Amino acid sequence: AAAAPGMVPAPCASKVELRLSCRHLLDRDPLTKSDPSVVLLQQSQGQWVQVGRTEVVRSSLHPMFSKVFTLDYYFEEAQKLRFEVYDTHGPSGLSCQDDDFLGGIECTLGQIVAQKKMTRPLLLKFGRNAGKSTITVIAEDISGNNGYVELSFRARKLDDKDLFSKSDPFLELFRVNDDQSEQLVYRTEVVKNDLSPVWEPFTVSLSSLCSCEETRPLKGLVWDYDSRGKHDFIGEFSTTFAEMQRAFEEDQAQWDCVNAKYRQKKRNYKNSGVVVLADLKVHRVYSFLDYIMGGCQIHCTVAIDFTASNGDPRNSCSLHYINPYQPNDYLQALVSVGEICQDYDSDKRFSALGFGARIPPKYEVSHDFAINFNPEDDECEGIQGVVEAYQNCLPRVQLYGPTNVAPIISKVARMAAAEEHTREASQYYILLILTDGVVTDMADTREAIVRASHLPMSIIIVGVGNADFTDMQILDGDDGALRAPRGEPALRDIVQFVPFRDLKNASPAALAKCVLAEVPRQVVEYYSLRGLPPRALGAHTPEGGPGPAT
C-alpha cells in the first residue's frame, strides 16, 4: 500500500506568484518618459542571484507589468528579495551598462505574503528616497492551482486610430477581484499596422486567470499602441472563463469590442471590431499526492560503490570498515537516506546492487551485481535487509574498480522502460547511488542519464567521504540541462547530487529536504509530459479533492 499522505516527507513549499507595478517613477529621459523594467533578485548563500526581469513598459512613469514571477515559499525560511527598477536602454528588455537606476527595495517573501499587497517607497543609493516613487508587489498563493490554460486571441475590423497607417493593436486581459479592483492577467504583443490582428498564444495558470473560479468576471481591453505611452483606447469586452469554454465548444467564441463613448454618441454604433477566441486548451495539473493516492507505486534501488578507492574494509580508515560500535559512512548514508526513501516505497522492498568489485565465484569485475548474490531476486526487506546484505557481502568481494555507474543506471532504466509501455501512472523508479568519488565512465553515465530522462525514474547520488565531488555537480542539472556526449540535452532534470559530509549531522527533516526535495516535482513532471493522469484518482481521493500541487 502507498505511504499515508501525512508520512510523505517532502518539504512543504507553497507556490507564490508575484505581480509588480510602480507609480510616480523618476523621469530620466530628456525627451520622453522613462522605459522602466524591474529586476528581481533573491539571496542565496549570501549572494544576490537574479531570478528574472519584467518586460519593458515603454514611456511610462506608472507601469503595470504583465510578467509574473513564480517562487517557492518556505514558511520556515527568511527568503530575502530585492527589486531594482531601471530605465532600460538595452534592446528588448536586456540589461545594459547605460540603464539608469530608478530605485529599489529589499524585503522578505514572508513580508509580501503576509500583506498580500505591499507598497513601498523606492530607495536610491545610500537609502535616499527616489522622489515619490513607489513599487507595489501583489502576492498570490497558487499552491491549490489545478491547471493551466492556453489561450489564443485574434480580432477583426478594429477601428482605425491612425491617420496615415492602420492601428497597432494589443490586448490586455484583466481579472475582476472581489473588491472590484482589476488585476492584469496578461498583455499581448503589439501587432503593427493591422486591423485584423492575430496575437501569439499564451499560457496562464487558472489561479492567475480567475482564482480557480470559472464564473469570475474577466475583462478584455484593446488598445492602439503609441510609442510615447499614450495608447488610444479601441474598445473592451467582458466574459468569464466558463463562458469562454462554453462558447469555444459551440464555435461561437467571439465578443463585440465596444467603446462606450462611441456608443453614446453614435446612433447606429454597433462595435469597434470583434475579438475572437481562436484557441483554448486546458491543461489540468496533478500533484505528487494525487499520483501516490491514485495507486502509483514508488520502487527504490540502492547501488553501493565497492571500488578499491574506499580502502581495505579491514582497515579502520576505510569508508567500508565495519566497526561494531559505530556505523561507517556508507551505513550512515544508507540508513539516513534509505529510511526517507522507504516512506515513498510502497512495499518497503529495495533492490540492492553493488558495482566496482570482483565477485565470486570467478572473481570477475562486475558493475551491477546483487549484493545478496541472488541475481534472480535482488530485493531486500526494508533498509535493515539492505544493511544486512551489505555487511554479509563485504567479506566475500574484492574491492576493485573502476567507478562505472552507467551499467546500473541502464539496468534500472530497462525496468522503467518496461513500465513506460503500460501507459499508466503505475510505477516510478528511484535509483539511490552511494559512491566515494567521481565516476570513471562520465561520458557513458551522461548518455545513460539523458536516455533515462525520458523514463519514469529519478537518480539520487550521495557522495560519501571527503573526496572532491566538483565534477559530480555536472550530473545534477541545476546549472542548465545535462547533455549527452553527442550534445543531446536531457528531457528533464532527474539527478540530485548530495555530498553526505555536509548533512552528516543534519536533522532527518533537513536531510529529507536536501535528498528528496526534487523527487515529487520530477514524478509530476514526467507524468505531465506524458499526459498521464493519476490512475484511480476518484477511488482514492479523500473528501476535499486533490492536494496542493508539489
Task: Name every residue whose Cβ is closer than 8 Å to that of residue 39 and which is 6 or more positions away in sequence.
Answer: 50, 52, 53, 83, 84, 86, 95
372 phi-psi bin (left φ>0, alpha ψ -120 to 50, beta other): alpha
Residue 121, preceding peptide bond in cis (omega within 30° of 0): no
Helix then strand count (H, E) for the chain reads 12, 26
Distance CA 183, CA 170 (A): 17
What letter would DSSP give residue 313? T
The pLDDT-based confidence of 237 (bands split at 50, 70, 90) is very high
Residue 12 confidence (pLDDT): 44
pLDDT at 368 over 60: yes
- Average predicted confidence (pLDDT) for the chain: 86
The stretch 64-88 carries a mean pLDDT of: 88
**For the domain bounded by 5-141, which CATH number is listed?**
2.60.40.150
Q: Is the pLDDT of residue 333 over 90?
A: no
Burial of 353 (0-12, 13-18, 19+ CB in 10 A): buried
| Whether the predicted pLDDT of 242 surpasses 90 | yes
pLDDT of residue 319: 93
Hey, what CATH class is 147-284 in?
mainly beta
Which of the four CATH numbers 3.40.50.410, 1.20.1050.10, 3.40.50.2000, 1.20.1250.20 does domain 294-535 have? 3.40.50.410
Position of cell 499581448? 188
pLDDT at 144: 64
Better-predicted residue by pLDDT, 475 or 69: 69
The domain ranges of the chain are 5-141, 147-284, 294-535
Closest to 135 measured CA to CA, from 103, 113, 111: 103
Cis peptide preceding 361, ω within 30 of 0: yes
How far is the C-alpha of 429 from the C-alpha of 453, rounded, in Å? 12
* Strand intervals (E) in 126-248: 129-141, 147-156, 169-176, 182-187, 202-205, 217-224, 232-240
Q: Is the pLDDT of residue 95 over 90?
A: no
**Mean pLDDT score, 478-490:** 80
Structure confidence at residue 531 as a pLDDT band (50, 70, 90): confident
Which of these, 360, 440, 432, lies nearest to 398 by C-alpha position? 360
- pLDDT band at residue 547, thresholds of 50, 70 and 90? very low
What grid cell was written down for 547? 492536494
Of 405, 411, 389, 425, the C-alpha closest to 540 is 425
Position 63 confidence tier, pLDDT thresholds 50, 70, 90:
very high
Report pLDDT for 30. 75
pLDDT digits (tens, 9 = 90+) for 161-170: 877 889 999 9
Could you tell me which of 244, 246, 241 has the C-alpha nearest to residue 255? 244
| pLDDT at position 367 | 95
Provide the pairing of β-strand 457-463 with 427-435.
parallel
Q: What gap in Å lies between CA 116 and CA 138, rounded to an integer?
A: 6
Provide mean pLDDT across the span 16-23: 94
Residue 546 has pLDDT above 70, yes or no: no
Confidence of residue 7 (pLDDT cuts 50, 70, 90): very low
pLDDT greater than 50 at residue 548: no
Reported as a pLDDT band with limits 50, 70 and 90, residue 189 is: very high
Name the grid cell of 112: 509580501
pLDDT at 240 over 50: yes
Q: Is the pLDDT of residue 129 over 50?
A: yes
Q: What is the pLDDT of residue 550?
A: 36
pLDDT of residue 146: 66
Kindly state the average pLDDT of the residues 449-464.
94
**Segment 335-359 mean pLDDT:** 85
Query: What DSSP character marks residue 26?
Result: -
Handedness of CA 244, 245, 247, 249 (dihedral sign): positive
pLDDT, mean of residues 187-212: 92
Q: What is the per-residue pLDDT for 92?
A: 55
pTM of the model: 0.56
pLDDT of residue 280: 95
| Interval 96-116: pLDDT, tens | 667 899 999 999 998 888 788
Q: pLDDT confidence of 222, banded at 50, 70, 90?
A: very high
Per residue in 267-280, pLDDT tens?
A: 889 999 999 999 99
Give mean pLDDT, residues 133-138: 96
Its sign, for the CA torsion 529, 530, 535, 537, is positive
* Strand spans (E) along 382-535: 398-399, 427-435, 457-463, 495-499
Positive or negative: CA dihedral 503, 508, 514, 519: positive
pLDDT tens digits for 418-440?
988 888 988 999 999 999 987 89
Top mean pLDDT of 30-39, 117-126, 518-527 is at 117-126
User: Confidence class of residue 176 from pLDDT cuts 50, 70 and 90?
Assistant: very high
What percentage of the chain carries pLDDT values higher than 70?
A: 89
Cell of 433: 547511488
Residue 543 confidence (pLDDT) above 50: no
Q: Three-class SS of residue 433? A: strand
Q: What angle do CA 397, 402, 405 make, to 5 degrees?
A: 95
- Is residue 359 exposed (0-12), middle (13-18) or buried (19+ Cβ within 10 Å)? buried
- 409 CB contacts (<8 Å, ≥6 apart)? 431, 445, 448, 449, 452, 459
Mean pLDDT of 383-408: 95
Q: How far apart are CA 110 and CA 473, in angstroms?
A: 31
- pLDDT of 497 strictly over 80: yes
The two domains 147-284 and 294-535 share their CATH topology (first three levels equal): no
Instruction: Give the alpha-carbon dihedral of 540, 546, 548, 550, to 10 degrees.
Output: 50
Comparing 134-143, 213-222, 477-486, which segment has the lowest mean pLDDT? 477-486
